[in-house]
Amino acid sequence: MNGYKSVLMIFLAMAFVLSIAPDVMAQEGRIVYIDSYRIRQEYKEFQDAQTAFNTEIDEWNQEGFDLQRELDSLKVDLEKKRLFYSPDKLAETQDVIATKEAALQKFTNDIFGPNGRAERRNQELTQPLLDKVTAVLEKIAIENNYLYILDAVNGNIAYAKKTLDITDKVLEELADLQ
């Protein structure tokens, strides 16, 4: 019977601790979240950076299309005139085509490949903005005693009370920085 009372006392003590744990955690800080997609869509500096990046991407795509069109034209011309070319002229034309193919492949890799110009340019445009967002998040977290700020987009939050969403506060602080 004495063992039963000990287990009962431990159970009651644990129930008491668990019942006050949310209140204690609420006093120490809270967990809130942001919607980084909304920040990217509504923060003007992100919009401006995206517009600049898209313009550069369009220019690179056009340059790539022009190179591809030139290469296609050479191939079509070769097929039309193949029978009329001497072996030397045929080899010369095939070398030109191979050189243009290599140039197109190099261009594509240099621009759009891993660590290519597009990736580096995107990083150049967005990193200062991400640094601002991080600074604002840190400021808000300290001022409001938040333990965690999660990202609803990348954090796989299945459910959260809308009142815990501080995206508007972050956007306001970012607007104040402009």
pLDDT of residue 162: 77
pLDDT at 76 over 90: yes
Q: What's the CA dihedral at 101, 103, 106, 112 to 10 degrees?
A: -90
Q: Across residues 23-40, what is the average pLDDT?
A: 75
What is the per-residue pLDDT across 91-105, written as a single tens digit (0 to 9) for each? 999 999 999 999 999
Q: Please give the share of the chain, as a percent, with pLDDT higher than 90.
A: 62
pLDDT of residue 24: 45
Q: Across residues 117-141, what is the average pLDDT?
A: 94
Q: Across residues 66-89, what is the average pLDDT?
A: 96
Domains of the chain: 21-177 (3.30.910.20)
Q: What φ, ψ does residue 30 adopt, rounded to 5°?
A: -130, 165
Cβ atoms of 149 and 30 closer than 8 Å: no
Mean pLDDT rounded to a whole number for the chain: 85
Q: Across residues 39-58, what is the average pLDDT?
A: 96
Question: Which residue, among 45, 67, 59, 39, has the nearest Cα to 118 in the 3D structure?
Answer: 59
Q: Which residues pair with 34 in a beta bridge?
A: 151
pLDDT of residue 9: 41
pLDDT at 13 over 60: no
pLDDT of residue 154: 77
**Assign residue 159 a region: left if phi > 0, alpha if psi is -120 to 50, beta otherwise?**
beta
